[in-house]
Structure 1
Amino acid sequence: MPFQKIEAEKLSSSIVRQIELLILRGILRPGERLPSERELAERMGVSRPSLREAIASLQDRGLLATRAGAGIYVADVLNSAFSDALIQLFATHDEAVFDYISFRRDLEGMAAERATRLGSDTDLKVVDTIFRKMETAHTKRNPAEEAALDAEFHLAIIEASHNTVMLHMMRAMFQLLREGVFYNRQVMFKQRTTRDMLLDQHRTINDAIQARNGPAARAAVEAHMTYVENSLSDQQRAEHNELIAQQRLEHENDR
């Protein structure tokens, strides 16, 4: 018969599995500091030796990392999603920018539609809360906060879609975007007209998600990403034209 004796699971294994799931589900994020050993042991209701054993196991597997004198952190696993060589290729070839936008348009459209079906009321409240923060940041002259909230808004939608593979993949992609690998997001927010258009687009996305209208949410995301694509294309064309104009002016001054 294919039955085996059931053995009691080690306490440290239960701790490992709980922390694993928190990382997998994106609740514990890369770079996030864990509570102190004593506090964490109290919260989980376990002994400190069992906790140490579990943490050591997670460190060996690269999920947790220790910083000297600063405690234990979730490892920065996102940076390992792409090799340095590939990141350099992304940064130096324009076609990667537009492939990235196309990639986002397809996946985020799907994520928005999934969020309307699978997101809980709390998930949708998180999305709405971030959008309200965007509205407040929109009134400020410095666009940096609004640009940062833009990424949070899109990631909240992906979180609400409840697909862990998509979540971690898109977090890695957004990390590259924050680092300016694909393009400088803040440039798009510097012009008032563009900022107004972007906010209106995010409002349309949010309204569709809050109404749990899947097709409308997907269409709104796709329209938004098409606008971003066209804006970047126009920006690149303007920079190219300006370079030519400067060369003409320099040549005129030399005659």
Structure 2
Amino acid sequence: MVCCRRLRHASHASRAWLMSAFAPVEPTEGRLADTIAEQIEQQIVAGQLKAGDALPAERELARIMQVSRASLREALLRLVSRELLTVRRNAGYTVAAVTAPSLTDPLLRLMQTQPKAVADVLELRQGVETLAARFAAERATEADQGAIAEAIEQMEQAQQAGDAEAAATWDARLHLAVAEASHNVAVVTVMRGLFTVMREHVRRTRAAMLVNASGDQALRDQHRALVAAIRQQNPAAAEQAAEVHLRYVRQGVIAE
């Protein structure tokens, strides 16, 4: 029962935060649908609306934004055509996930057959994620900090329980949460697009690192240092923590 109450509380808190992402639309000289679409798109670009977030029902959203349902529907369908939203009958509108299959599928195949591809992905991660960590320490909102804290908590719980698959997934989600906290649309788009590749990459690198207790402790300490630096709003420390973590992983993969 306690678990259920926690889940309901988390669900209500998440919904309250999502509702706060929308605001009444200010009158402009242009078409109202364009203004609505632009406001929602800005929330997606800024990372306030994340992949998988379900928008409120049309009637409710129209009330919050103080617009007609006809103009709102036109704006939402425009965002669907731009592949920023998805829509399903009786399920409403959802923020689309950037999967970039034309990029991720070849990388996944190469990682399965070519060891060098794993090291190459690490080089890419090192460049993007050190930058993301610095920006996250400068720009993370309270909601971003909550997402990062949840990811590291779930990752450590899964690792302690011996669930390697869940630990790898939450590890990847932690790094994605840091990227989303950067509020840099280029960084976020690249990291979201590479999420499937990153999850597989994390699974492989964790297997190489966690062959002994010292590797387990090292990864735990590195992740905690990264999260702490972001929480303390220390950009230099966050960048350094990301650099140390990815260098450690890279050296382990090369040795493996």
Category of TM-score, reference length = shorter chain: 0.7 to 0.9
SS of structure 2 residue aligned to 1:82:
helix
SS of structure 1 residue aligned to 2:94:
strand
Residues 1:45 and 2:71 are matched in the alignment: no
Residues 1:214 and 2:224 are matched in the alignment: no
1:125 and 1:169 mapped to 2: Cα distance? Answer: 22
TM-aligned CA distance change 1:17 to 1:73, over 3 Å: same
Deviation string, structure 1 residues 94-129 (Cα, Å, up to 9, x no partner): 322111101111221222223333435664454344
Find 2:189's aligned residue among 168, 181, 186.
Answer: 168
Find 1:17's aligned residue among 38, 44, 57.
Answer: 38
Deviation string, structure 1 residues 36-94 (Cα, Å, up to 9, x no partner): 32232233222211111112222222222333443333333332562755654555433
SS of structure 2 residue aligned to 1:78:
coil
> What residue in structure 2 maps to residue 95 of structure 1?
116
> Which piece of structure 1 moves more, 27-36 or 193-202?
27-36
8 A Cα contact 1:147 1:186, kept in partner:
yes
**How much does 1:165 deviate?**
0.9
Residues 1:59 and 2:59 are matched in the alignment: no
> What residue in structure 1 maps to residue 15 of structure 2?
none
1:7 and 1:22 mapped to 2: Cα distance? Answer: 18
8 A Cα contact 2:133 2:239, kept in partner:
yes
Deviation string, structure 1 residues 160-202 (Cα, Å, up to 9, x no partner): 3221111111111123223x37864663576462333211111
8 A Cα contact 1:96 1:182, kept in partner:
no
**How much does 1:20 deviate?**
0.8
TM-score by length of 1: 0.74
Q: For residues 58-77 of structure 1, what are the structure 2 equivalents within 5 Å?
A: 58-77=79-98
2:130 and 2:90 mapped to 1: Cα distance? Answer: 43
> What residue in structure 2 maps to residue 245 of structure 1?
none
What amino acid sits opposite 1:29 in the alignment? K
> What residue in structure 1 maps to residue 207 of structure 2?
187
1:206 and 1:7 mapped to 2: Cα distance? Answer: 41
8 A Cα contact 2:134 2:238, kept in partner:
yes
SS of structure 2 residue aligned to 1:65:
strand
Larger radius of gyration: 1
1:216 and 1:85 mapped to 2: Cα distance? Answer: 34
Find 1:177's aligned residue among 198, 203, 208.
Answer: 198
2:41 and 2:100 mapped to 1: Cα distance? Answer: 18
1:72 and 1:229 mapped to 2: Cα distance? Answer: 40
1:35 and 1:7 mapped to 2: Cα distance? Answer: 24
SS of structure 1 residue aligned to 2:100:
helix
TM-score by length of 2: 0.74
1:114 and 1:76 mapped to 2: Cα distance? Answer: 22
SS of structure 2 residue aligned to 1:72:
strand
Residue segments in structure 2 that go unaligned for 5+ positions in a row: 1-26
